[in-house]
Structure 1
């Protein structure tokens, strides 16, 4: 569900809007869907890894960086300024 919501907001996310606005859209529209009912999940290391991987992939997409650009995850998070789920 998280990726479908991300796709619905792709014009905002992929557009030339300021990163701060993209971050607000992510935090208010996408992150709640991504973590919907998370308090009922059994939070294993595997689930944590999947959530972190998904968030980092979305962050990379927001700033136009691919894995081939070989930017560290910390750098990507620093650029976006998003909270870690």
Structure 2
């Protein structure tokens, strides 16, 4: 999960953080769980449900992406954020 978190951070929040916050992120990101452990926890510790959990997450991504885009557009419209 660490590479995915670092990529997401670099594309989003990193440009808003100072040196200290960036270094803190690099420390904290190592506390992220492994993908396998995260999926098992989402399946209430039942083995073999990883694909089911991923499928459930994927079924909500379109709706989630639309909501996030609406928030991003609002920030741009109100000049609360500048486009990268």
Q: TM above 0.5, one fold?
A: no
Asked which structure has the greater CA Rg, the reply is 2
If asked which structure has higher relative contact order (CA below 8 Å, sep 6+), I would say: 1
TM-score, with structure 1 as normaliser: 0.30
**TM-score between the two structures when normalised by the length of structure 2:** 0.31
